[in-house]
Structure 1
Amino acid sequence: MVEIPGDRVDPGHREADGECMTSSQTSLHGPRTPVPAERRRVRWRSVLVFGAVAYGLFALCAAPFWVLDEGITHPLYTLVIGAGMFAPTIASVVVAKLVDRTSWRDAVGLRFRGRWKRILLWAPLATLLVLALNLATAVIMVLRGVPGDLTGSTWAAEVSRSMSEQGAEMPTGAAVALVLAISAFGLLLTVVPALGEEIGWRGWLRRELAPLGPWPAIVLGGAIWSLWHLPVTLIGHNYTGQPRWAAVAMFLPASIALHYLFSAITERAGGNPIPAAFAHATLNSTLGVAIGVVATSETASELNWFLDTPMGLTGIVLIAATAFAIMPRTGRGAGRGDQQRTAPEAG
């Protein structure tokens, strides 16, 4: 999206131009989004408008699959819900342009001057980090007693057999390499809709809730994000085959932990949400692969969705601990891009 030249800039959202630091940034460990001295309160009207637009558009995309017999297995489900993932970006544009009357790119952190090195570092690093978390939860699942094969040989043999059945005879190593290449390509495609979410949640909402202080901002931001998923969580998108009330309840702490992690990555990238989009895409596109690598024919029947996945208790603990470890502390260099005084960039 292109910013319209000549927009009036609200000092409440000019992260790039240097602001007075307030108490919300002095925590030894938490979001360090600068809050201008002249705006130390959350603009709740903007938050409500943002939430209403984001939720309304996403619910509209999910609505057909509430009534279609196929539900989330419908051939168009992935495409339509992928489009719905841009609802938070659209909501941020509406709020920036119509409510706050400010620069949209500043409001969501899509600035690059002085941040390129951190963006280029944290995009692949975030990808590897989330991939490692997905694999770690799968390994812990097997170590706790769920049937599995930590060598990956069962998975490799199944991949080769599947390729042969489809008429693509090839050595096991080549079959595995092909599957991994396809997964990597799928990840890159998934980054686009993931960015649609990250611009809104970690770009706009993270900044807007910053005056609350680190932990309240994390918890409330994650809770709002969790509720936004209700239109698909209630029809089986998360925690396959589990009671929907339990899925909604478990998704709340999972969303808070992930909001913490993606916010930490965004902070490390100088406030730019692009690396968080890579992390988000990796979570979405490699979760099944990570479980599959250690799976056997008995794994699915013994797997506990509320314990053994990145969205279960094991994943929540690992994700929260990782976020705690990488979130910039006050005075460390990772947050300087949010504080440095720079000239406004061309739109």
Structure 2
Amino acid sequence: MLKLLKSLIQPADKAPQKESIRVATDFEPVALVLHPDTEMPLPVWEAMTAAIGEDWSRERRDAFCTAAAGQWLLALCSTLPEGYRIHESDDFLLLSALEDRPAHVLLRFCQSARRRIVANLGDAAVARGDGKHVVLVFDDDQTYYDYIAHYYPEGGEYAMSAGMFVHAGYGHFALYEGDMERMQPVIAHELTHCLLSHLRIPAWLNEGMAVNTEHGLFPYLADPRNSLYSPNEVKAKHAAFWNPDTIQEFWSGKSFLRPDDGNMLSYDLAKRITATAARDEASFLAFLRQADIADAGLSAEGCLGYPMEHLVLVMLGEGDWRPAPERWSEGVERGQFRVRRSAGYSARDSFNAT
């Protein structure tokens, strides 16, 4: 495995840092502004953050945003069944109905995963300054889907998912409770999206980074024995599906939304070509910082030192694989479903579903 992502597979530090975890019952006062027409409390973040001064230090801004998030979680907690609480660590706020021990285990994993991902990404990862990361773990899948329904058009259908990073307002993770073996990979995947959310990277790179990180932390997920298809079957599916037209869907991000095998093949191709590109760590990180969703990274291919289509050529052989943004009449996706939200939100926002 490539050097950049390889270190994620290494065992955690022999002497892990002692995490400070507590049950949070109060936060610094911040005026909570909520949308009036939602089933669960959804803040008007633009109104709340208007109080942030231009001359505020990063520390003061971070403390304010954390307090604002805490006030929101207290309001959300009051609308959920008895048993939900807020646990707080150095970099995370967790709202869940978990008992103390599993809540502590989950937060320690969040802290460890964040350290390891940031160590690999370096300054390509978003810096702390807009509050602690928020993780919502709902007690059951119905409550989870009731919550994420706020981010879909009224009456619209939504994809089944184990969890998502809601890239809107105060970006946060949402998932429903399960065993640690299920929840931790979801968080690793979504945390990667979160730490890259400030970059205008295309879908293939966004998802390629998230899947490689997830598989780096949990290698068993990449074991072919756990796949629906054998390696030869996957190879045959790639060969049958990709052509000069469908590869443009891949570069634009639209193929990640397909209802057929194109969805699975898009994630697999993204994982493979991201791993290939990352073999040269310095070149790849330069590419990661400059790649733009508008052209799938084409304008930044000089950072790689070779034409972008060579990434796909390794996997699919000779063909017309070069990104052609002028052919993307349906626009682009950033590796996140783009939906118009209800509850008074007029802008198109994005989130990632796993």
> Fold-level match, TM-score > 0.5?
no
- TM-score normalised per structure 1: 0.26
- TM-score normalised per structure 2: 0.25
Which structure is higher in strand share? 2
Which structure's relative contact order is higher, taking Cα pairs within 8 Å and 6+ residues apart? 1
